[in-house]
Amino acid sequence: MHIPDGFIPFPQYVVYWIITLVALYFSMQWARRDLKERQIPLFAVLAAGIFAIQAMNIPIPWGTSGHMVGAALVAIVFASPWAAVLLLSIVLILQGLIFGDGGLTALGANIFNMGIIGGFTGYYLFRALRSAGEIPAVAVASWASIFLAAIACAIEMWIAGTFPLVEGLWMMGLYHAVIGLIEATITVVVVLAIENSRPDLFKFSEWGEKKGVASK
């Protein structure tokens, strides 16, 4: 879902850059306030894992492929959408700067879609659905995070005059509805793996109870 250079015209990509820079400021505030020292290894390992798995395109029908984004995973594990913004920004900046995956002019839009929309959708949907069961909530939230990021991307491409609205929405929506199944599966597996191996770093029973845990 990495937008290359040339898909968004100049004044529009500046808008996404501004939104993203403001979000990055808040995500750094999150880290200063809530990123506990013992969580730094988890943060770094998740960033490395998400970078690697984003390159593993899995075939879906229609001669298309898709990869995981990981924003919902980070937002749920760290109980904050800002964690996803910060981590995805690191991954996307590296991908854009070193590997040409996503254009540098479009980097603001890419962080906006995958980090901000992905992270906020994942976080708030998990929070809303949690009482219905934690694993189904993780699955639905992570599926929706990539689906809505793709819908946002299609709308941006329409505003940019790059894609027609209806076709863009249909294709991006359909492809990412399927890719979302991959996202949901991997997110559930990784969340359960962290909960089982390191319940001190993440467990559902303490989810969102930041202040009490932070002082320890």
Show contacts with another protein in window 23-82 (CB under 8 A): 28, 31-33, 35, 37-49, 51-53, 55-59, 62-67
Q: Does 214 bind another protein (CB under 8 A)?
A: no
Report if residue 86 touches another protein, rule: CB under 8 A.
Answer: yes
CB of residue 133 to another protein, shortest distance in Å: 27
Number of residues in the chain: 216
The answer to the question of residue 17 lying near another protein (CB under 8 A) is no
State yes or no: residue 198 binds another protein (CB under 8 A): yes
The residue among 133 and 161 lying less far from another protein, judged by its C-beta, is 161
Q: 200 or 206: whose CB is closer to another protein?
A: 200
Please write down the HEC assignment for all residues of the chain: CCCCCCCCCHHHHHHHHHHHHHHHHHHHHHHHHHCCHHHHHHHHHHHHHHHHHHCCCEEECCCEEECCCCHHHHHHHCCCHHHHHHHHHHHHHHHHHHHCCCCCCCHHHHHHHHHHHHHHHHHHHHHHHHHHCHHHHHHHHHHHHHHHHHHHHHHHHHHCCCCCHHHHHHHHHHHHHHHHHHHHHHHHHHHHHHHHHCCCCCCHHHCCCHHHHHCC
| Cβ neighbourhood burial of 121 (10 Å; 0-12, 13-18, 19+) | buried
Return the residue of 85, 114, 153, 184 that touches another protein, per CB under 8 A: 153
Does residue 99 bind another protein (CB under 8 A)? yes
In the complex, the smallest distance separating the C-beta of residue 117 from another protein, rounded to whole angstroms, is 14
Residue window 102-121: x/- pattern of binding to another protein, with contact defined by CB under 8 A = -xxx----------------
Per CB under 8 A, the list member of 9, 133, 136, 164 interacting with another protein is 164
CA distance 66 to 55: 9
Between CA 45 and CA 43 the distance in angstroms is 6
- Binding segment for another protein (CB under 8 A), chosen from 90-98, 115-123, 131-139, 202-210, is 90-98
Residues 167-186 binding another protein (CB under 8 A) are: 167-168, 171-172, 175-176, 179
151 binds another protein (CB under 8 A): no
**Which range touches another protein (CB under 8 A), out of 15-23, 120-128, 133-141, 152-160?**
152-160
